[in-house]
Amino acid sequence: MAKKNILITGGAGFIGSHLAEKLLSLGEDVFVLDDLSTGSLKNISHLKKNSNFHFIKGSVTEKKKLEKLVAKADRVYHLAAAVGVKNIMEKPLESLLNNLLGAEVVFEAAANRRTPVLFTSTSEVYGKNTNIPFSEDSDRIYGSAYNARWGYGMSKGVDEFLALAYFREKKLPVVTVRLFNVIGPRQTGVYGMVVPRFVEQAISGQPITVFGDGSQTRCFGNIEDVVGALVKLIDTPKTYGQIFNLGSDEEISIKNLADKVKTLTHSKSKILFASYNKIYGPGFEDMMKRKPDLTKIKKAIGYKPKKTLEQSLGEIIDDIHAQK
């Protein structure tokens, strides 16, 4: 098979850099577009020696630059977006514009050539729905428009409608993936990601800070499992025009996660609890449970998470130790 030209928007981010690594290992030509607002050259520095890797600094909202890249691409992974609750609360306008305008530019450019696109959405689209586990056709329930916390999920939700509209009206081969708390090496805690933040605090002997009372639960998917599924999905035409949950369905409370991190790092750090109001300001609302139904993706591509939470945590701990 001839090698393909692959474009990854947001490819210098945590997930994008692992996806680029995977595609290069498969012998593909990989073009990464990233404005480095939350991505980092450090994430992709080890890839630059590969002659099949190409980095372009720029934003998905730069229409002409993006159109030229899409014109050369056989596949497009659209990952570029605002990252992390903390970042979204601090920069709501920038987050909304990047998510909404970026998706429209990517879909329009790809539709002109019917280039397959994989768009990464988020479990945040389910909002305050408490009917667990979430299936792809579950209702989406959001809080007040005055609460910036819901802006991210709503903007990604609009992007999903946009993807489906392009599929139906312009025959764009697009698949949408709702990611559930993906973790692994190279992820940063700077933007509020809980696992790297806990591990960094535990290793450095700082208090492990749990937001709220710690009873909220999450499911953490391993980056290798997730990236492997992304590659399969875009190469499976029956997935086009569909939405898939992706991650792990192994559920854990944030309090138990803190205990597990403390044990695995042999840390003497104390576990402290901080109110959401203190961290994010008054009126912040969180999703108390977030668990995916993975039935649909299992049927579509035979997906099955291979790595346990403990294995993922071990990899992250080793990675952070290596950086010290």
Query: Which positions are annotated as active-site residues?
Result: 152
Query: What is the spatial distance between Cα 177 and Cα 247, in angstroms, rounded to a whole number?
Result: 10
| Cα–Cα distance for residue pair 304/247, rounded to 1 Å | 9
Q: Which two tokens stand for residue 191?
A: 């933007």
3-state secondary structure (DSSP) of residue 300: helix
- All residues at 6 or more sequence positions from 270 whose CB lies less than 8 Å from its CB, including other chains: 207, 208
Q: How far apart are CA 21 and CA 15, in angstroms?
A: 10
128 in Cβ contact with 187 (< 8 Å): no
What does the alpha-carbon distance between residue 223 and residue 158 come to, in Å, rounded to a whole number? Answer: 25
The strand pair at 217-219 and 251-253 is best described as: antiparallel
> Could you give the CA distance from residue 61 to residue 89 in angstroms, rounded to a whole number?
21
DSSP-assigned letters across all residues of 9-51: ETTTSHHHHHHHHHHHHTT-EEEEEE--SS--HHHHGGGTTST
Contact between 203 and 29 (Cβ < 8 Å): no
